[in-house]
Structure formats: C-alpha cells, structure tokens
Structure 1
C-alpha cells in the first residue's frame, strides 16, 4: 500500500507567513492538485484526502491569512480580494503555475479570483459545495450575506456562528450518521477561531461576503469562456449552499460531471470513500 509523506512548510508572501501542506508523491513528474479550504477550517480539513491521493499527485493545501497556522501581520485587511492576493502570491512563490484546483466553500471565491487573473494556471476544476450561483444560496445564507456592520445585532449573529456549537453544527448538519464525523475537525477549527484576533478577521470577511455574490456573473462568464474539465461533488443537505447550486454549474459547463451525495456541507468528512475515487478517476483521464 502506497502512503504518501506529507511535508509541512511555510513561505512568506507580502509579510504573511503562509503555512501549507504538500504531499511528496512517488514520482517527480506527478501532476499538481491545489486544495482550497473553507470556513471556518484550514488545510487540516484535507488531511485524509491528501493521504488518499498524495502518492500519485503533488497535492498542496495552504492556510489563508487568519486561518489555521497562517498568521497575518497587524493591520492586514481581511477581504476576499486580499485572501486571493496572498494565495496568488503563494502560488508564484512555490512556482506552481499548472494545476487542478479543488474549491470548497470560501475556497470558491478565493479560487475563482485567482482563476480570473490566471486562467492559464487552471488545468481542471473540482467543485465541492463551493458556490458561484445565486441558485445555491439558501434563505439562511442570503440573510447572513445581507448583514452590515451598522445593522443592529449583526455582529452578535455572526459571532454566534463562531462558537463551538456553531462550528460543530456546520460539520454535523445534514449528515445521516453523525458517528462518521470525527470531532477533531470542528474542535481544531474552534481552537483557531478562539485565538486572538481571529473572530475579528471572520467578522470582516462575513461583511465582505457580498462582494462574492456581486462577482458571480464574472465567474460564470469565465467558466463559459475557458470551459475547464470539471467535476462537481455536492452534499445535498448543505444548510448554506443547497443542491440547486450544484446543478447551476451545468448551465455554463454542460459537460461537467456532477455527483450529489447524501450528506452535508463538509462532505469529505463522511463521504471520502465516495469522493476520493471520483477525483482519482477524474484526474487520471
């Protein structure tokens, strides 16, 4: 059985010390797979997927500024544009310029910004509960995105999602068997959320999320123009990004491969046994 080694590294980008995980595949010419994590997690959410794929592919998973093990300097502006700036600089710093890109949750607005700037970098696209269409916004998500700093009670609503109960619910919501969800993921996420300054970073990103919805038409146009080979894997019981968001991609990518699974937002947690073979088959073609 081939089990990859995983290196844990750091590189400085515009004053941000970016932490990332990188598999050391069995062959030097292995194709690259970039994994972009979601909220409120970090690259650790991909540990099992990296073990499953990392011997055949150079799998790379960075932590965004203010997430996981990546620290941002004082005064860093937490917007999705800035997260994309750092990821773009990170990819240039490690000289990764051709890869398949896996986007999940926050990874979609970060990844699509990078793709807009460098379409030549994206060989293939894997979307897992990463939204780019208003069809994929639940009423709960729409209400959350509409929150503004000056709105009475807005900060309290956002901070409620940043609690241990809120973090755990994102992992277990919509899951058929909660015993398949390891507590390590949401426990570690909460550890990082509770570090100094991290909740303030999440508040800023929550207030900036509307900028992503405003860019949906541009991302859809990018998909139509560049038509990357695409695999879509979606947990249908996602409380934020429901199933219509998955099918919406087919309007612009009619040849995309779509699989809807009977799980929730963090579909890899209980669906790795289904998702990893789909990715391996998709990338090997």
Structure 2
C-alpha cells in the first residue's frame, strides 16, 4: 500500500519549517523521525516514506537553510541566525516539541547524526530506537578526506574555496554516485534537486558556517558514546561501505558501545537508500515492529 503523505509547515522561533509526514492506517503506529544529511533535505526520504508510511508515522523536516524551510540570513554576514549544529538541534527539538512527539525512533543520517544525537542526549527518554545510516559518531569512522575537511577553519587560506567546491554540481552528483556499483540505480532527481537549493540566493553562507562548525561534532563524540553505553537504545546500523567520508569502520565502532546492535553493510556509497531501498526498507520495518515501545 502506498502511503498518504502530507507536506506541511510549522513555525519555530519565527521560521517556517517544512516537513513531510505520512499518515499510517493505525493512529498508534510507531513514529520514525527522519533527519536528513548534506547537501540534501527531506526529499531524500520520499521513496522510504512511500514504502513504509502506510504502516508507520514517518516525519521528515528540512533544517533552516535547507530544502523548503526558511533561510534566515547568517549571523556571519550580520543576520539573525547562527548556522551551527547546536542551533539546528535547537530548532529540531522545538519542532519535535510542537508536534507533541514524546516518543519516537530516530533515523540519523550524515548531518542528521550530530543533530539527532544532540536531541537524544537532551531527552534520552524520547528515543525508542536508533537507526543509523552513514551517520558517524566515532573518530575511526572519519576518512582522511573527512579529517582534512573537519580541520578547515574560516580565514585559513584556501579553506572557503575548498568548501565552495563541495557546493557545485559535480561534487553533489559525486556524493550520490560515488561508491555505487551500478550508477544506473541512482535517480538524477536527488542531486538535481539538492543543487537547485544550493544555488538559491543566501544558501552558500549557511553551508560555509556549518562546514566550519563540523569540528564541534567530533568534540562531542565521547559524550554521545557515553549516551549510547548508558541508555543502550535498540539500534539498527545500516551503512554504505564505500562512503568516501564515513568508511565502514564507523559502522563497526557502534558495536563497541551497543554490542546488541544489528549491523548491515551494503556495497554502495553515502546515499545508500538511493540504490538499496528494497533491502533497507524491510530491515527498518522489522526493527520497528520488534522494538517499538510507546
């Protein structure tokens, strides 16, 4: 059965936050909060929502500066909004509060991991389960390329140009096709829509700010690992093993703190849902059915 999906906005701290929400046939169905990555938005979950949304309540917001959400001017250029991961987590937390979500499973992908783990550390009682897909929380899960990226600082010669290079169409397309075995399985709409948003006025500075703030996530890895060990949420770890930024060692590292986690590696790159949805969607459904406790 294909899901019924609504496309809505909530006003959070004066910002219109866009989100997608499926309406399952059972109003008490498990809830899965889908947090997107870079350089994408909630549209990256469209096929997953179609596949599972009739059975589960799937909610996928766009962060400020991404997708269809508002793009307030960056504080770096005199605007009102600080594009940091702390701030993205603040907005997402208030979004969750306004929806009245007091219990949900968390899907943490890429940028969604540092946003989601901040939420989990603040409100561990809300996390019914954890689905991690190429969302890193361990230093061994950082490739040399990722370490070089995280070391960038504003004002350092060449640093801004390096980040700007990641905001181009070849780089965006490369994030989707890199590491895949069969690029014909990757629909071009994903990177095309991502690039459309990246090229809109006012979008570059937020991405620069977040790139230069990424080190704040690595600094919190030990705290997030303590959270995992202390609260031991049911966990499903799904990983594109050929990810150029987050190699499979980052997936295996979760088993150190969550030895009962279920781990699946796929022969693909960063956006594993793009070419492995038929394998991944049933794993998520089974995980929610087995672990959901309202």
The answer as to whether partners of 1:33 and 1:58 remain within 8 angstroms in 2 is yes
Query: Which residue among 136, 139, 142 is the counterpart of 1:131?
Result: 136
Matching of residues 161-176 of structure 1 within 5 Å: 161-176=166-181
Residue 141 (str. 1) matches residue 146 (str. 2): yes
Q: What is the DSSP-based 3-state SS (H/G/I as helix, E as strand, rest coil) of the residue aligned with 2:179?
A: coil
Matching of residues 241-252 of structure 1 within 5 Å: 241-252=246-257
Q: Structure 2 CA distance, aligned partners of 1:10 and 1:214?
A: 33
Q: What is the DSSP-based 3-state SS (H/G/I as helix, E as strand, rest coil) of the residue aligned with 1:242?
A: coil
Q: Structure 2 CA distance, aligned partners of 1:15 and 1:112?
A: 24
Instruction: Report what 1:49 is aligned to.
Output: 48
Provide the alpha-carbon RMSD of the alignment: 0.6
Q: Structure 2 CA distance, aligned partners of 1:38 and 1:82?
A: 15
Compute the displacement of 1:240 (Å).
0.2
Unaligned runs of 5+ in 2: 74-79
Question: Structure 1 length as normaliser, TM-score?
Answer: 0.99
Q: What is the DSSP-based 3-state SS (H/G/I as helix, E as strand, rest coil) of the residue aligned with 2:278?
A: helix
Instruction: Report what 1:284 is aligned to.
Output: 289
Instruction: Report what 1:17 is aligned to.
Output: 16
Instruction: Report what 2:211 is aligned to.
Output: 206
Compute the displacement of 1:73 (Å).
2.9
Query: Which residue among 192, 197, 200 is the counterpart of 2:197?
Result: 192
Instruction: Report what 2:77 is aligned to.
Output: none
Compute the displacement of 1:15 (Å).
1.4
Instruction: Report what 1:236 is aligned to.
Output: 241
Q: Structure 2 CA distance, aligned partners of 1:31 and 1:252?
A: 25
Q: Structure 1 CA distance, aligned partners of 2:59 and 2:27?
A: 14
Q: Structure 2 CA distance, aligned partners of 1:204 and 1:72?
A: 13
Compute the displacement of 1:29 (Å).
1.1
Q: Structure 2 CA distance, aligned partners of 1:84 and 1:27?
A: 29
Instruction: Report what 1:156 is aligned to.
Output: 161
Compute the displacement of 1:138 (Å).
0.2
Residue 225 (str. 1) matches residue 230 (str. 2): yes
The answer as to whether partners of 1:15 and 1:73 remain within 8 angstroms in 2 is no
Compute the displacement of 1:96 (Å).
1.0
Instruction: Report what 1:8 is aligned to.
Output: 7
The answer as to whether partners of 1:17 and 1:72 remain within 8 angstroms in 2 is no
Instruction: Report what 2:72 is aligned to.
Output: 73
Q: How many pairs were matched up? A: 284
